[in-house]
Amino acid sequence: VFPVCVRPPPPAPSLWKMIAIGCSLGSELTFVTCGSVLKLLNVKHNVRLHSHDVRYGSGSGQQSVTGVTSVEDSNSYWSVRGTGDAACLRGNAVKCGQNIRLTHVNTGRNLHSHYFSSPLSSNQEVSAFGEEGEGDHLDEWVVECGGAAWKRAEAVRLRHKATEAALAVTGEQYGRPINGQREVHAMAGRGQHSLWKAMEGVFVKPADGPPFARGDHAHTEF
């Protein structure tokens, strides 16, 4: 994988320095690929999917997931990974209908949902769960998009595999200690509140061949 944007001379910046200054790997890529690290924007409410080491005071008591308006916040990065039953080979485009996990980069917990009620809207709670990228089957999400693979320019839905609810924002805002952050939850239906678009990040370049083909021995699961 090689940087495709012009940046300061060697030594080359680290992954996190590249993210901080807005430089992405494989920024010419059309598709979201396995192993990429990205931010997800809710296109209806203009907030990015976010988490931090702050737990819900009700419901599951797990790590909270919110939406933030800030573009620069490093707590909004998520890595795109496979599941226990479905590998996501590094560099392969994510297929429409594929099951994935989204792991919060700074805490190592996975985007998760279950039948607890969300604190503000009483929809289905969304949390971050697990340790070092390992949780359970409730961390699995299905990518709903319109073609063969997830295009970076396309607004997609993320449907929770176990409960069929879609990741959404409807505008409710928290008070202290996370004042102004929006509630993220899961809900039935496929309205405008559940559309998400890939934004800033580091996108892993695929191998030669079709963008959604299976990889060869040079690929490893992220």
Cβ of 144: how many Cβ atoms within 10 Å? 16
- β partners of residue 213: none
**pLDDT per residue over 196-208, tens digit each?**
999 999 999 876 4
Least confident of 8-22, 33-47, 130-144: 8-22
Question: Which has more pLDDT, 87 or 49?
Answer: 49
CA separation for the pair 158, 44 (Å, rounded):
15
Which candidate, 116, 122, 123, places its Cα nearest to that of 188? 123
**pLDDT per residue over 169-178, tens digit each?**
999 999 988 8
**pLDDT per residue over 120-163, tens digit each?**
999 999 999 999 888 899 999 999 999 999 999 999 999 999 99
Residue-level pLDDT at 207 = 60
C-alpha pair distances (Å), 171 with each of 14, 134, 147, 183, 203: 35, 30, 29, 7, 29
List, in order of start, the domains of the chain with CATH numbers. 35-197 (2.80.10.50)
The tokens describing 164, both together, are 């069929």
Longest dimension (CA), the chain: 51
* Eight-state DSSP code of residue 118: P
